Structures are given as C-alpha cells and as structure tokens.
Amino acid sequence: MKRHPVAKEGEIPPGGRKIVAVGPLQIGLFNVGGEIVAYRNACPHAGAPVCSGRISGTSLPSRVYEYLYGREGTILRCPWHGWEFDLRTGEHIVDPKNRLKQVPVASENLDRLPTERSGGTLYVLLSQ
Ligand code: FES
C-alpha cells in the first residue's frame, strides 16, 4: 500500500469533510463523531460525486403515522437521487450490500484517529 498525504490531523472537525484528489481519484474524508473515515467520491448507484452530498440524519423505523428522525450527522445523502449511506460504515441504509468504497486512512502512528491530535499528517492508503 502506498501512503498519500491528504490532510493534517485536527484539520477536519467533527461533522466536517474534505474532498481531495489523489492522482485521478477523488476521495472524501469525513469526521464522524471523532473518527476519520474516507470513501471514493463515486456513488455505487450511478457514479455521482456522493461525497459532496448533504450530511444529515434520516427517518427511523416507526409505526404508521409516526415520524421519527435520528442518526443526525451520520448519514450522507447522494446529491443525484438521494440514496442515503451510513457514514460510519459506507453502507446504504436500506440495502447494505450497496456501499461506498471505503479507503483506508492512517496517521503517522495510528490506524484510527482521535481528532484531538493535531499537527501530524493523515494519509490515505492506496494500492497505487
Ligand atoms: S447516483 Fe447516487 S443515488 Fe443515484
């Protein structure tokens, strides 16, 4: 795996994102509750730049005529057709076999990244 520097530790605040280009690839980095995750910026439905979509919550399972909203800040909604993905896993919230393509992220010393750390470099790990 080749390490590509993409951000500084602490640069992406909780709830924030950064979209970067690594060669021909676009990758979205997200801070979800203090954990940095990264995905290819291509929706599995029809290839939209999904990482630029709205970060929100979603409707929760509920009884008829009950409307519950939750999971705020953990759902990424594709800007083209509205598919919703869990930012923590990349899975489509209704059909988990449709998922965003996750990209491994590492810091200089850790695999998972507490956001309190700052000053170091975040890397995405790619085969090329
Ligand atoms: S391209 Fe993303 S939902 Fe259609």
Above 70 in pLDDT, residue 1?
A: yes
Q: Report the separation in Å between the CA atom of 77 and the middle of ligand 1, taken as the mean of its atom positions.
A: 9
Instruction: Name the DSSP letter for residue 61.
Output: P
Q: pLDDT confidence of 128, banded at 50, 70, 90?
A: confident
On whether the pTM is more than 0.85, the answer is yes
Please indicate whether residue 81, judged by its CB atom, sits closer than 6 Å to ligand 1. yes
Q: State pLDDT tens for residues 38-87.
A: 999 999 999 999 999 999 999 999 999 999 999 999 999 999 999 999 99
According to the model, what pLDDT value does residue 116 have? 41
Do the Cβ atoms of 17 and 51 come closer than 8 Å? yes
Q: pLDDT confidence of 119, banded at 50, 70, 90?
A: low
Average pLDDT value for residue range 87-112? 88
What ranges do the domains of the chain cover?
Answer: 2-126
3 state SS of 81: coil
Range 107-112, long-range pairs (CB < 8 A, 24+ positions): 107/9, 112/35, 112/36
Q: Return d(Cα 33, Cα 65) in angstroms, integer.
A: 31
Assess if CATH 1.10.40.50 describes domain 2-126: no
Average pLDDT value for residue range 22-29? 96
Give the phi and the psi of residue 89 in degrees, each rounded to 5: -120, -20
Do the Cβ atoms of 87 and 76 come closer than 8 Å? yes
Q: pLDDT confidence of 12, banded at 50, 70, 90?
A: very high
Mutation test residue for ligand 1: of 39, 40, 41, 45, the one with most atoms within 8 Å of CB: 45
> Which has the closest alpha carbon to 41: 125, 127, 100?
100
